[in-house]
Amino acid sequence: MWIFDSYSKGSVELWGRKQGLTKVSAAYPPSFYMHLDDPASHLDLIDGLESRYKVEECSFRTIYGLIQGYRIFASRNIAENIEKQTRYEAQLYNVDVRQDQRYMAEHDIFPCGERDESRFMPDFEVPLTSLEIQVAGDPSMPNEISCVQILDGRKRRLEGPERTVVSDLLHIVKSRDPDLILCPHADTWIPLIVRKARRYGLEPTISRTGWFKNMASKSYWSYGQAKYKDGALIPEGRVLIDTAKSFIFSESGLKGVLMASRLSGLPPNLTSRFTPGTLISSYEVFEALRRGMAVPFRKRDAEAVRNISELKACDKGGMIFQPDPGLYEKVHQIDFTSLYPSIIVKYNLSPETIEHPEVKGFLSSVISSLLSLRIETKRLKKANPNYVGIDSILKWMLVTCFGYTGYRNAKFGQIQVHERITGISRELLMQIKELAEVMDFEVLHGIVDCLWVIGEPIAAFKEAVERDTGILTEVDSYDWIVFLPMADGSGAYNRYFGRLNTGKMKVRGVMARKGDTPEYLRRMQLELFDILARARSQNELREAYDIAREVREKYMQGLEDADVRELAIHRRLSRVDYSRRCAEASAVKAYQERGFSLAPGMEIGYVVRNASKWEVDAERDASKFDAAYYLKLLNKAWDEVSFALNNA
């Protein structure tokens, strides 16, 4: 059965396709494992558990090996009570694992694929019927449902009184009965449609059973930034993807969402809404369960006890060689392919191998399969764009696998593993820098997993790097490249742009790449980069100066008549209360005055009306703007590009 939805409601419910729509309900009572260092001191606890629940004395595997304990057939709240009663001496496992994920792992099945195929196949069939829905209106101010467009091979437009539109929409969903619904801003519109349906006494057919799982909205911190996850209504027996808000869908498309589901053992409803970090963690959990390993409830091995000299000696991060700002010709950039995952695999890094490097590590083993698949899809996508989405989701999952080794709550992370990875990466970058110099290449810049060099033949250097390090690489060759300066005049680590020998521009760290840059400024800079892309050499860059100046003047003179919506600045809120006056504080106030409930991590858009007083208007209300303020931003955008022209 090709499973596309799963959840637990007392029993495990699986929806799939097998010569038609199929639903399977499997009895699967919750259970967890418990280990006690001194069972004799907790006999009353064990007796009490045995009098109320099914308890089996057993041995079970962890990544560190076999341990003795008990399997207790009870729910999570019982496990939490055990922790309290034993003063957290009890070591518990499989407490917070999803029941449907655990059931599939133990029965050797997985979502979005057939039992007899490999989860790691980049080619797989998608037998789902689908429907696209587009709701007219502003999703930030959802109110009346008066116009809906439906795409199911042909376009249909539903318009009229709200009750009629909602009724017709739900009727079409029921009659077409799709397995998959794609809808921009679904997590805003679908809850509203369901509320309207219930108010009008209509059957909410978005869910095949009429029931929904409610995912609450929340703010959280990730890599030092406030993030916000919208709430959602998850239907039963149907996949609903918010095509506008799902990061996974926007980065990798439907095939990427389904591949993430195959790998993680989670249904597409969840993989489309989770972050790459949650997906890699879920993948590791699913792999552990498939291999018969118990998953710890609370981390006890995040960091071993170390003395002060060990802490001082431990590695702190990746290596960077600072560039000299300027323009350089005939430059090559050599990148390690998935460096950190490759290090994990090559050097057998896992929490249990830090003290015992002779054993085969769990983490290195499970990352190896993912890395091999990424190398394959990276090769395949060069000839076939159908693999781009799958390659993208693999890239994001592998990127985050390193960060999760140092995350204190990661099920299979440990800070020493994290430090060992960065230590090896520094050694590797130093190694290939010295190799480049031995081969008479000039090293311009290096950052963690890549090196910029001048010299020939680059193919010989690439071959030597792969031979000496055992890690695959890729090369980008530039006709010219510019490393921009920082405020103090030294070279910036991650702000550069250049013309590849393919004729395309590669741009990093400038205003056109930043999410908060107003669209008007972004358009100017991108137009300037299009002009620079025609210049194949330093001499041709000099000749492009006058044309570039004309573009700049066009945007400067056109600023007064610019569409105010193209001047909106979009920022992700780190807080909603401010002690000092600033643009974000004024924007938050403007939104709150309009009745919006804001939370850290949400993105807002505003237009600066008066920069001297930090008076701003919410994006939707803006009609005026501070021309002098935006003129400064235009000059800043010009300065980034003109650095190449002035140094040509």
- Reported as a single tens digit per residue, the pLDDT across 82-130 is 999 999 999 999 999 999 999 999 999 999 999 999 999 999 999 999 9
Domain endpoint, select from 464, 484, 499:
499
Is residue 34 a contact partner of residue 90, using CB atoms and an 8 Å limit?
yes
C-alpha 508/C-alpha 18 separation (Å) is: 47
433 within domain boundaries: yes
Beta bridge pairs of residue 406 = none
**Summary mean pLDDT of the chain:** 94
Residues 185 and 78 both lie in one domain: no
9 within domain boundaries: yes
Residues 101 and 135 both lie in one domain: no
Residues 6+ apart with CB under 8 A from 47: none
Residues 268 and 179 both lie in one domain: yes
The predicted-structure confidence for 451-507, as pLDDT tens digits, reads as follows 999 999 999 999 999 999 999 999 999 999 999 999 999 999 999 999 999 999 999
Q: What is the pLDDT of residue 217?
A: 87
Residues 6+ apart with CB under 8 A from 526: 512
191 within domain boundaries: yes
Residues 334 and 247 both lie in one domain: no
Residue 265: HSE in the Cβ half-sphere, 13 Å Cα cutoff:
23
Residues 216 and 152 both lie in one domain: yes
Residues 48 and 143 both lie in one domain: no
Domain endpoint, select from 499, 521, 547:
499
Is residue 443 a contact partner of residue 451, using CB atoms and an 8 Å limit?
yes
214 within domain boundaries: yes
Is residue 567 a contact partner of residue 593, using CB atoms and an 8 Å limit?
no
Instruction: Cite the DSSP H helix spans in 291-414.
Output: 308-313, 339-346, 362-380, 388-405
C-alpha 247/C-alpha 278 separation (Å) is: 13
Bridge-based pairing of strands 225-229 and 218-222 is: antiparallel
Looking at residues 229-258, what average pLDDT do you find? Answer: 95
Q: What is the pLDDT of residue 505?
A: 97
551 within domain boundaries: no
Is residue 444 a contact partner of residue 454, using CB atoms and an 8 Å limit?
yes
Is residue 335 a contact partner of residue 470, using CB atoms and an 8 Å limit?
no
* Strand blocks (E) in 49-129: 54-62, 65-73, 91-93
Looking at residues 585-611, what average pLDDT do you find? Answer: 91
Looking at residues 538-561, what average pLDDT do you find? Answer: 96
Residues 184 and 284 both lie in one domain: yes
Is residue 99 a contact partner of residue 8, using CB atoms and an 8 Å limit?
yes
Looking at residues 553-565, what average pLDDT do you find? Answer: 96
Residues 357 and 478 both lie in one domain: yes
Residues 167 and 225 both lie in one domain: yes
pLDDT band at residue 204 under the 50/70/90 scheme: very high
pLDDT of residue 428 exceeding 80: yes
90 within domain boundaries: yes
Q: What is the pLDDT of residue 223?
A: 64
Q: What is the CATH number of the domain that holds 39?
A: 3.30.342.10
Q: What is the CATH number of the domain that holds 154?
A: 3.30.420.10
Is residue 485 a contact partner of residue 643, using CB atoms and an 8 Å limit?
yes
Residues 243 and 97 both lie in one domain: no
Q: What is the pLDDT of residue 153?
A: 81
596 within domain boundaries: no
Q: How many domains does the chain have?
A: 3
Residues 58 and 170 both lie in one domain: no
Residues 350 and 243 both lie in one domain: no
Note down the domain range covering 447.
320-363+406-499
Beta bridge pairs of residue 6 = 14
C-alpha 624/C-alpha 83 separation (Å) is: 59
Looking at residues 368-376, what average pLDDT do you find? Answer: 96
Q: Cβ atoms within 10 A of the Cβ of 33, count? A: 25
**Secondary structure percentages of the chain, helix, strand, coil, to 5:** 40, 25, 35
Question: What is the helix (H) or strand (E) element at residue 495, kind and residue range?
Answer: strand 491-500
581 within domain boundaries: no
Q: What is the pLDDT of residue 579?
A: 84
Q: What is the CATH number of the domain that holds 422?
A: 3.90.1600.10
Q: Cβ atoms within 10 A of the Cβ of 634, count? A: 19
